[in-house]
Every structure is written in structure tokens, then in C-alpha cells.
Amino acid sequence: MFAQEFMRNALVTGTFVGLACGLVGYFVVLRAQVFAGDALSHIAFTGALGAAVIGLDIRTGLFAATILGGVTLGALGERARADDVVIGSFFAWTLGLGVLFLSIFTTKSSAGNGTAGVRVLFGSIFGLSTTDVRVSVVLALVACALLLAIARPLLFASLDTAVAAAQGVPVRALGVGFLAIVGLVAAQATQAVGALLLLGLLAAPAGAAHRLTTSPFRGLLLSAALAVGSVWAGLTLSYAFPTLPPSSMIVAAAVGAYLLAEVLTSGLGRSGAAGRTG
């Protein structure tokens, strides 16, 4: 399995994308911004196809759209916690725009590029070039570094916004900056699992980590480990059974981990008589 170049590329990229998704996802879940992650995935689709229509590199459009989208969401929502209706309406519209681009793109280049839409929606981790790998690794590390740099104040601001603001933590700027990082990671994950499934990689490992531990440090580690583990499991499964697409296997592994965590914790809660709620 490691002898194949496409498989090595997929594993290296997937590892770093998983790492970034796990770390960022932990805060996404903590801040109850899962819906924002979903919106960013739709913006990713539109950005990628918009770039394709005007003849730019798909990846450029992807990153520009998701980072801008993150900043916009942060600025729109009150106290940088964008509310559901704004995000929902906004992402429905961006997806509509994406459909327009898709239709322009497929009519314009009738020669064989009809799969662009499907590739963006469901990812193409087995089709990465060496340059793709290098870019993804560097960007994923940048995202992780940025997140860890703001992790402490962000944690404070997420847990108790009012007290953090009173202590002089720039709550609003942190919120906007955080969503920009989520945008960066969403663009990365789009390449690995596709725009439709990236939410799974962003939210499921983090959700499992939140069920298993309340300590933020251990939670972050666990979330990252589960995300990377899901990527590895998904890629291995897909390699062993070529009919199974890698993106859905990765997300299936992540969701499986979440379900397992859910069952384990509820089982523990029942057997251990200590009144653990939530």
C-alpha cells in the first residue's frame, strides 16, 4: 500500500488535513459553530467552481472563498457568533451561485471536464500531485500554528464571552480570526473529503472528544488523534476495497468514532452512579 505514490500522497496530505481539522473542529464544537463549518463547506464549492469559470486555479478560488467567507460570517453574526438564519440563508445563496458557475463551466468546456463539480463536492484525495501534497502540508501546519497561538484566549472567550471581554480579551477579533482559520482548514479538507463531507471530519472527531473528556488540552489532543485516525482508517479501507470511495470511508470512520464515544459515555454514565449529565 505504501509502494503506490498516490497512496503515499493521500496518506501524508490526509494526516495533516486530519490534524488541522481535529484541532480546529474542537473549537468549532466548543463554540457551537458547527453550522458555520457547514456554510463554509458550501462556500468552498462555489469558490472553487467560480475560479474554474474565470479560468483560475481551482485551489486559489477555494482558499480565497472560504477565508473570505469565514471573515464575513464572523463580521455578520452578532458578537462574531453568526446566527443560524443568517448563515443558512447566506449559504443557500452561495450554493445557488455555485450551481450557476457549475452550469457555466460545464457548458463552456464540454470537452471532458464535466466531473469538476463532483470532484469538488466529494473530494479527490487519490488524485493529488506532489505539489498538492507540499502545499497542503504547509497550509495545514500554518493553520495549526495560528490556532495554537490564539488557543488560550480563544478558549477563554469561547467558555465565558462576557468575562473574557471584561478582562480585555479582544473577543470579537478572536471570533473573526478563528472563523478565518476555519475557512483555511475547510479549503484543505475540501480537497481530501470534498465540500459535502468536510463537516464530518470537522465535527465528528471533535464531538467525540467533547464526549470523552472535559479537559481542553486532552480534548484537543484526542480530537486531532481521532481525526487523523479516521483519515488513516478511511484511506486503508478504500485502498483495500477499491469500490469504496475514500471520502465517504473517512467520514464513516469519523462518525463511527463519534457513535462509539456516545455509546461508551452513556454506558459509563449509567453504570457509574455518579450523576454525570450531558
Partner 1 sequence: MLNGLDSLLFGTFLGITSRQVTVLLVVATAAVLLVVVAARPLFFSSVDAEVARAGGVPVGLLGFAFLLVLGLSVAETSQITGALLVFALLVTPAATAHQLTSRPGLGIALSVGIALAVTWLGLALAYFSLYPVGFYVTSLSFAVYVVVRLIRVARRRTTAFVAEPA
Q: Does 215 bind partner 1 (CB under 8 A)?
A: no
**Does residue 106 touch partner 1 according to CB under 8 A?**
yes
Is 274 one of the binding residues for partner 1 (CB under 8 A)?
no
Give the nearer residue to partner 1 in terms of CB position, either 38 or 136.
38
Which residue's CB is nearer to partner 1, number 177 or number 245?
245
Sign of the CA dihedral 12, 36, 175, 229? negative
| Part in contact with partner 1 (CB under 8 A); list of ranges 2-10, 116-124, 154-162, 176-184 | 116-124
Using alpha carbons, list the distances in angstroms from residue 38 to 62, 175, 182, 186, 199: 15, 17, 11, 9, 6
Nearer to partner 1 by Cβ, of 53 and 221: the residue is: 53
For 129, the grid coordinates are 500531485
The alpha carbon of 27 is separated from its chain's Cα centroid by a whole number of angstroms, namely 11
Three-state secondary structure call for residue 274: coil
Q: Work out whether 137 is an interface residue with partner 1 (CB under 8 A).
A: no
Taking the least distance from each CB to partner 1, the nearer of 107 and 214 is 107
State the Rg of the chain over Cα: 19
Q: Which three cell numbers stand for residue 30?
A: 466548543
Q: Which of 76/141 has CB closer to partner 1?
A: 76
- Note whether 139 binds partner 1 by CB under 8 A: no
Report CA-CA distances (Å) from 236 to 2, 197, 200, 219, 248: 10, 18, 18, 25, 12
C-alpha cell at 21: 481539522
267 binds partner 1 (CB under 8 A): no
Q: What angle do CA 196, 60, 16 make, to 5 degrees?
A: 60
Among 12, 64, 99, 135, binds partner 1 (CB under 8 A): 99
Q: Which range, of 60-68, 106-114, 153-161, 256-264, touches partner 1 by CB under 8 A?
A: 106-114
Nearer to partner 1, 61 or 98 (CB): 98
Applying CB under 8 A, does 104 fall inside the site for partner 1? yes
Q: Where are the alpha helices (DSSP H) in 115-215?
A: 116-122, 130-159, 161-166, 171-193, 198-212
- Scanning residues 33 to 92, which ones bind partner 1 (CB under 8 A)? 42, 85, 88-92
Contact positions toward partner 1, by CB under 8 A?
42, 85, 88-93, 95-97, 99-100, 102-104, 106-107, 114, 117-118, 121
